[in-house]
């Protein structure tokens, strides 16, 4: 019985974190795409009513940046842990520290 | 020494089947939506598996400890099994691996994505029961830690597809909602890259997760036979050999399984592909970090079903899903049965001869299944063909007619 509780607890943790990253990052990515379309005028046909919005482009860059950064940090975290390092955030800057 | 050689060869063969059985988990969706050409997809996945295998430097020597008792907690094999060059331990491992490989090949032949880790654990459990009795299997963990067959294999297997499905469903629903007003020409390229990126992550995670199991088993065999003594390191050549085997397997590609996952379960569109692979990558990476042992296959299948549930109007072919679930349920006992029987055969004959016969059984059955697969080949050329209600799904109707007659 206790095994079931432990599993449910671990499962809930996984579910929560996976929702955050596995659904959250694609959402930010989609927002980036939306911003990109807005930045380029957003029309379905090329050349019709093109009114570029620089803000859209900047927002898109920000969104894609967040996604890429999250992935890079995630991979470094895993690789670092495997090699006996832990990733800590010193004043928001990611740094590796030997365990 | 000869037996050790056979164990190493068999381990690498398992690693190879592990690779090609699981190519689909990462790449089925990208191939189905055309984000990547089939051959490019398997090549990319192979390279990332190779990289992942080298990145996984955690010592996986205690990989068998969660289900069977043939090692102590430091990873050293039990003294009782290492006498006579470790032949008792080697035979258990060999028989277990044969069970795992044969089950992997059979499910591949049927195009079913079953879990390679379940096959491995099942084979080892079966061989252990036959060799050392029921008490040598760790069925349930202690109160404070998830462990044993129940805690490390059965419960995670029940929960992980559901978790992945919920994540993929949520992701799919949100993505469609958010991009509904975006013009098609922006979406095509965007989702294509999203898909390739997320599928690559799954491949990398797979290499990190799965290759180290084989590394652990080969190292265990080396220690048991007195060829290696360091409990905290894996010989470099073992690492290279395992990484290469899993990458080669991935490159060959289990096209039958890719077809089932990519075309059979749900008709997938690129946004769904991205949602499914992101959900898989996140679930696999997070849970392996939390020590929640799960199967890449179960997660990938759960994600694909979830993405079918999350999109309005999309259909999940529940008949196909049901066949898969049945395959999952019987993977552990079936591989276990083969492991137990081959251990029995090897033990009756005994010595090098016994191990050789076990090895021969593996070669004969594998060749037979490979030969059988050539009658109806599935490859990169026809992997994306329209999915028709296949012969076996129509089977019940036919057999009913037979009975009526």
pLDDT tens-digit readout, B252-296: 888 999 999 888 888 888 899 999 999 999 998 888 777 777 888
Cβ contact B380:B117 at 8 Å: no
Quick one: DSSP state of residue B376?
S
Angle of CA points A31, A36, A38, to nearest 5°: 95
Please write the tens of the pLDDT for every residue from B61-117.
Answer: 767 777 788 877 777 777 777 777 778 889 999 999 999 999 999 999 988 888 998
The owner of tokens 């799904």 is B393
Give the model confidence (pLDDT) of A16-74 as tens digits. Answer: 999 999 999 999 999 998 888 887 765 555 555 556 678 888 898 899 999 999 888 88
- DSSP code of residue B66: G
Chosen from B167, B276, B306 to mutate, greatest number of chain A CBs within 10 A: B167
pLDDT at position B14 is 94
Give CA–CA dist A55/B387, Å, rounded. 45
The runs of H, that is alpha helices, within B110-137 are 116-132
Measured CA to CA, the distance from residue B266 to residue B279 in angstroms comes to 16
Q: Give the bridge partners for B316, in sequence order.
A: B266
CA-CA distance, A29 to B179, in Å (whole number)?
Answer: 10
What are the backbone dihedrals phi and psi of residue B36, each rounded to the nearest 5 degrees, phi first?
A: -135, 145
CA distance to partner chain B, nearest, from residue A83 (Å): 6
What pLDDT does A46 receive?
56
* Nearest-Cα residue of chain B relative to residue A33: B190
Given an 8 Å threshold on Cβ–Cβ distance, is B282 in contact with A15? no
User: Which residues on A lie below 8 Å from B148 (Cβ)?
Assistant: 3
Say yes or no to pLDDT of B250 above 70.
Answer: yes
Q: For residue A29, which residues of chain B lie inside 8 Å, CB to CB? A: 190, 194, 274
**Predicted local confidence at residue B376, as pLDDT:** 81
The C-alpha atoms of residue A44 and residue A42 are separated, in whole angstroms, by 7
- Whether the CB-CB separation of A11 and A19 falls below 8 Å is answered with no
The answer on pLDDT for B400 being more than 90 is no
Tell me the per-residue pLDDT of B194-237, one tens digit each, with 9 for 90 and over: 999 999 999 998 888 888 888 989 988 898 888 888 887 888 89
CB contact under 8 A, B286 and A82: no
Sign of CA pseudo-dihedral B234, B238, B240, B242: negative
**Tokens standing for residue B357:** 């016969």
Chain A CB contacts of B282 under 8 Å are 17-18, 21-23, 25
Q: How far is A72 from chain B (nearest CA, A)?
A: 10
- CA nearest neighbour of A63 among A89, A94, A38: A38
Q: What is the DSSP letter of A96?
A: E
User: Hey, is the C-beta of A79 within 8 angstroms of any chain B C-beta?
Assistant: yes
What band does B404 get if pLDDT is binned at 50, 70 and 90?
very low
Report the residue of B285, B296, B309 to disrupt the A interface, i.e. the one with the largest count of A CBs within 10 Å. B285
Give the residue among A40, A52, A58, A50 at the shortest CA–CA distance from B187.
A40
Tell me if the pTM is above 0.80. Answer: yes
């Amino acid at each position: 019985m206790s095994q079931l509780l432990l599993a449910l607890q671990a499962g809930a943790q996984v579910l929560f974190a996976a929702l955050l990253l596995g659904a959250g990052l694609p959402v930010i990515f989609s927002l980036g795409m939306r911003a990109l379309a807005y930045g380029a005028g957003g029309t379905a046909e090329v050349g019709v009513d093109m009114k570029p919005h620089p803000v859209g482009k900047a927002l898109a860059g920000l969104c894609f940046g967040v996604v890429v950064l999250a992935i890079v940090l995630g991979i470094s975290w895993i690789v670092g842990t495997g090699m006996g390092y832990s990733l800590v955030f010193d004043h928001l800057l990611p740094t590796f520290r030997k365990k | 020494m000869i037996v050790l050689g056979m164990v190493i060869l068999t381990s690498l063969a398992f690693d190879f089947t592990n690779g090609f059985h699981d190519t689909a988990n990462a790449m089925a969706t990208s191939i189905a939506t055309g984000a990547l050409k089939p051959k490019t997809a398997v090549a990319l996945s192979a390279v990332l598996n190779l990289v992942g295998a080298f990145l996984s430097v955690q010592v996986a020597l205690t990989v068998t400890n969660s289900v069977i008792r043939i090692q102590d907690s430091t990873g050293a094999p039990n003294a009782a099994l290492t006498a006579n060059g470790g032949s008792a331990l080697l035979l258990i491992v060999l028989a277990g691996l044969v069970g795992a490989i044969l089950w992997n090949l059979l499910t591949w032949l049927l195009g079913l994505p079953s879990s390679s880790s379940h096959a491995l654990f099942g084979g080892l459990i079966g061989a252990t029961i036959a060799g050392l009795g029921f008490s040598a299997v760790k069925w349930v963990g202690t109160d404070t830690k998830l462990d044993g067959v129940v805690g490390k294999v059965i419960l995670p297997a029940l929960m992980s597809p559901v978790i992945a499905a919920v994540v993929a469903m949520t992701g799919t629903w949100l993505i469609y909602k958010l991009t509904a007003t975006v013009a098609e020409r922006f979406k095509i390229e965007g989702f294509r890259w999203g898909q390739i990126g997320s599928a690559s992550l799954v491949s990398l995670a797979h290499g990190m997760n799965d290759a180290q199991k084989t590394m652990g088993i080969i190292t265990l065999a080396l220690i048991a036979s007195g060829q290696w003594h360091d409990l905290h390191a894996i010989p470099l050549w073992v690492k290279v050999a395992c990484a290469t085997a899993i990458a080669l397997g991935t490159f060959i590609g289990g096209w039958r399984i890719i077809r089932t996952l990519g075309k059979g379960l749900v008709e997938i569109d690129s946004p769904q592909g991205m949602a499914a692979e992101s959900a898989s990558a996140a679930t696999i990476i997070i849970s392996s970090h939390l020590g929640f042992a799960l199967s890449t296959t179960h997660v990938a299948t759960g994600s694909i079903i979830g993405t079918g549930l999350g999109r309005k109007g999309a259909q999940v072919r529940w008949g196909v899903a049901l066949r898969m679930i049945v395959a999952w349920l019987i993977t552990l006992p079936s591989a276990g049965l083969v492991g137990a029987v081959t251990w029995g055969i090897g033990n009756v004959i005994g010595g090098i001869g016994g191990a050789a016969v076990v090895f021969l059984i593996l070669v004969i059955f594998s060749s037979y299944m490979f030969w059988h697969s050539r009658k109806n080949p599935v490859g990169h050329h026809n992997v994306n063909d329209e999915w028709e209600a296949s012969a076996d799904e129509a089977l019940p109707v036919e057999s009913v007619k037979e009975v009526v007659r």
